[in-house]
Amino acid sequence: MDYALGFFIATAIGLTGVGGGTLTTPLLILLLGVPAPEAVGTSLLFVTFSKILATPVYLLRGQVDRRIAGLLLLGGLPGVVVGSLTLARMRSARLEPIVLTIVGATVAIVACVGLWKLLHSHVSGTRELPKASRERWLPWLAAPIGMEVGFSSAGAGALGTLLLLECTSLSTGAVVGTDLLFGLIISAVGGGLHLALGVVNRVLVLHLCIGGVAGAALGAWLGSWLPARPLRTALTAFLVFLGGQLTWRGLQALIR
């Protein structure tokens, strides 16, 4: 089951580009019964592995703006440290429903943002290039994204891309590449912290990565001839459902 899940998630990422953390964490909790804090740490390391495979391609193409990535990391790195340490302090069984509710709500919100972005771009078709002066806001706006990544493993993909689209004039390819580098580094830092704090299932990470190698290759191949937008829209809508399920499960536990 672990290998199959890694294969499915990596295929979905390669095919649609939907963020790995947003998909991995809820599936680990709902399908494998992994505790929420452990699912987040495990997801972060798996996402790091997935982004390591994709990021060099954009670096070689020159589609990564290192200066913009540095501005994002200026706020994102402290944020992911705070988010990771906060989650580590909430590992007790008594606080598990609260963590589950927050993680579920974060996944649902991030997925809703991604769905809005897909539908909005389909309707508008173009976007107005923002002024370069908005770049000064990047560290401040990246900080809460980093906190979300450290606490739930979700947000780097959808929210990072949205932030770059609104605050920079980067091309589409550079937005994807820069966001991938940003997500890779904060996922690696967050995953490393969770690993050091003992909030990672190492065997599960290994199994997910082994299954993910074949899945990433298949997703990239299928993505070359299958329409990405309908698949991405369907998967993002599915993520809204998964986030809602986690939130409902956490709220039920809190009520009891």
Between 17 and 42, whose confidence is greater?
A: 42
pLDDT at 127 over 70: no
pTM: 0.84
- The share of the chain scoring above pLDDT 90, in percent, equals 34
pLDDT computed for residue 138 by the predictor: 93
- pLDDT confidence tier of residue 224, bands split at 50, 70 and 90: low
Distance CA(57)–CA(3), nearest Å, equals 25
pLDDT tens by residue, 27-78:
999 999 999 889 999 999 998 988 887 788 788 888 899 999 999 999 999 9
**In sequence order, what DSSP letters do the residues of 117-150 get, joined into one string?**
HHHHHHHH---PPPPGGGGGGHHHHHHHHHHHHH
pLDDT tens by residue, 187-197:
999 999 999 99
pLDDT computed for residue 140 by the predictor: 94
Between 227 and 252, whose confidence is greater?
A: 252
> In whole angstroms, how far apart are CA 152 and each of 94, 102, 134, 165?
18, 8, 27, 23
- pLDDT confidence tier of residue 8, bands split at 50, 70 and 90: confident
pLDDT computed for residue 95 by the predictor: 77
pLDDT at 131 over 60: no
Distance CA(61)–CA(149), nearest Å, equals 27
**In sequence order, what DSSP letters do the residues of 30-41 get, joined into one string?**
HHH---HHHHHH
pLDDT tens by residue, 164-215:
888 888 887 788 889 889 989 999 999 999 999 998 999 999 999 999 888 8
Cα 112 to the center of its chain, rounded Å: 13
Between 187 and 97, whose confidence is greater?
A: 187
pLDDT at 117 over 80: no
| H/E run at residue 115 | helix 96-124
- pLDDT confidence tier of residue 223, bands split at 50, 70 and 90: low
pLDDT tens by residue, 140-154:
999 999 998 999 888
pLDDT computed for residue 173 by the predictor: 79
Note whether 23 and 5 are within 8 A (CB): no
pLDDT computed for residue 122 by the predictor: 54
Distance CA(203)–CA(32), nearest Å, equals 13
- Which position has the token pair 């996402």? 47
- pLDDT confidence tier of residue 79, bands split at 50, 70 and 90: very high
